[in-house]
Chains A and B, each alone.
Chain A
Amino acid sequence: MTKIRPAPKKKKGIKKNLKSIESGKDIAKVKLCTKNKKRIKIVKKLKPERKKIAKFFSDEKKDLDVVEKAMTLPVQNNNSNPLEKLIEPNGIRKGQNPIIESNRFFYDIPKTNYFIILSILSIIIFMVAGYVFPATDEDIIHNKVIWTNDGNYDRGLFNQLYTSVAFTLGVFLLGYYIYSTFIKLNVKYWYLFETGVLLMFFFGLGKIGELVYNHVIFDIFKDLVLPVALMVLAFASYKIYKDLIGVI
């Protein structure tokens, strides 16, 4: 009896063809084939497939190269974190010195130290005003200042004095840190906010002055400065907000 061998299955797919070509089995068969036409036909059929395979592998290699290159690069600063937007309206980037490399319009502001200079000046003027406008007898009689007729202090008004001093110091510290961060980095519209804080510092000095020096003069000064300070702060907040959301 003769054994029936199953016919060899036709190899399908690009990779299988390539394997068979590379192994040399099919090439050997082709060589053995006596008919030249058949051989040419097979070679012609395989040519585009080989090209496709080569192209596929080269593309894959290119993709891998791109991914590897991206992995090695330092992480770029994207604006996904809203915190970073606060310091980046003018194009400041991490890894750069924003003070040296910035070329913005209000660049001269950080050089002036105007907050510190104005604060010290206002404290000097405040102390001089103590000699020019001391507490009047009327203020002492009506219990408007901390002094009393017998040369002692009115203990009830000390609460106000303490809180006024604390407020003034707190506002000064706030202004100083805004100056040393936002203003030094020249973030848009923060100079307005800083002006408002400076006016609030003047208000604090006026509040101390009305308890120690001439009550009427410092009270009027304080009452006039406070609305201006609050309006400047409100306007600055509005401008900063609009700048942050990108409307202006």
Chain B
Amino acid sequence: MDFSYYYPVLSAINFVAAMLCVYYGKKLYDFTRGAADFWLFLSVFIFSLGGYIIFDFVRNSILVSFNSPIMAAQDLAITFAALFALISAIYIKKMFDDMLGEYL
């Protein structure tokens, strides 16, 4: 079975799921009126993953000749995702420390 045959379909599913995550993350951020910053960073984390997926899709489907620059862009996207995951983790901890620190 040539798995690469299904790759565009998987990429499309990934992209739609990532955009849904970003949509609801943004909605949650708006709902909390910006009080919970971690929603913003969580949305950006998923958005970075969405960027990684787009680059992966483009590299494998359309622009095979520009392999190196797109791979570098993917690396950058995944680095940002890691960074935002870290920041949102810190914000979650901070938020709960502010609210009920003595119980955690």
Contacts and interface: CB of A to CB of B under 8 A. Distances in A.
Most buried by A among B71, B83, B85: B85
A234 B100 CA distance: 28
B78 A171 contact: no
Interface stretch (A31-39, A41-49, A64-72, A93-101): A93-101
A contacts with B: majority SS: helix
A177 B14 contact: no
Nearest to B25: A237
Interface string B63-83: 000000001101100110111
A83 B72 contact: no
Given A83-B95, A177-B93, A237-B20, A170 B81 contact: yes
Nearest to B68: A156
Contacts of A170: 81-86, 89
Nearest to A181: B96
A97 B89 contact: no
A241 B89 contact: no
A240 B100 contact: no
Given A181-B92, A241-B31, A173 B104 contact: no
B20 A238 contact: yes
A233 B46 contact: yes
B99 interface: yes
A167 B79 contact: yes
A137 interface: no
A230 B20 CA distance: 9
A192 interface: no
A231 B89 contact: no
B3 A230 contact: no
21 contacts: A82-B31, A83-B95, A86-B95, A94-B100, A97-B103, A99-B103, A164-B78, A166-B79, A167-B82, A170-B84, A170-B89, A177-B92, A180-B104, A219-B3, A230-B18, A230-B46, A233-B17, A234-B24, A240-B24, A241-B24, A245-B31
Interface of B: 3, 7, 10, 13-14, 17-18, 20-21, 24-25, 27-28, 31-33, 35-36, 45-46, 49, 53, 71-72, 74-75, 78-79, 81-86, 88-90, 92-93, 95-96, 99-100, 103-104
Interface of A: 81-87, 94, 97-99, 159-160, 163-164, 166-167, 169-171, 173-174, 176-178, 180-182, 184-185, 200, 207, 219-220, 223-224, 226-227, 230-231, 233-234, 237-238, 240-241, 244-245
